[in-house]
Amino acid sequence: MFQTTLEPANEEQTAATVAVMGGDDWKRWIDQLADAGVLAPGFRTLNYTYIGSELTWPIYWNGTLGRAKVDLDSKAEAIRGRLGADAARVVALKAVVTQASSAIPVVPLYGTVLFKVMKQLGLHEGCIEQIDRLFRTRLGKGVALDDAQRIRVDDWELSPEVQTEVSRRWPLLTTETLGELADLGEYKSQFLRLFGFGIDGVDYTQDVDPRIVPG
């Protein structure tokens, strides 16, 4: 078995992570729009985040990234304090393939298992599908919020039936069982599409002339 050790982030690295992935830019942007008087009546702003499950919390939520998530929640509260109770919400979404998530230890492997389980249960959503569900079902009056006043669209991922099955498969994962227990193909396909690859009908073996030839 291959093992590696990661040193915890120091305070400087933690502060840099919060600066990049926290809510400061968001709040400053909204404050400037409000100061300029250009926000429409009933204005609302959303900021997407990922919280994850118990399997990923040790390195994700309980790590340096978690500090940035807490900052994001606090900035949402500050915006609401200035502009109204419904002006700003953090929206917790399900796991998806991004450049950031694919570089975080454990998270990509978790994603391959999660995708297969959710597909088998008829609950799998891509980015567009879950945002469509967000706008159709979570932005009306009286929508339930969690303790941090977030909107939750990760409810299908974190449902007991999904997490119980993911947890059952987790200790069984090996190179030999990956094809049976996880969906590496789906993860790879989504990763390639982030960079414009894996598109049907495109011959990637052909040379491409990057020059733009007039008319």
CB 109 within 8 A of CB 56: no
Q: Residue-wise over 147-166: b if at least 16 C-beta within 10 A, else e?
A: eeebbbbbebbeeeebbebb
- Please list the active-site residues: 60
CB 95 within 8 A of CB 111: yes
What type of residue sits at position 212? Answer: I
CB 58 within 8 A of CB 29: no
**66 CB contacts (<8 Å, ≥6 apart)?**
60
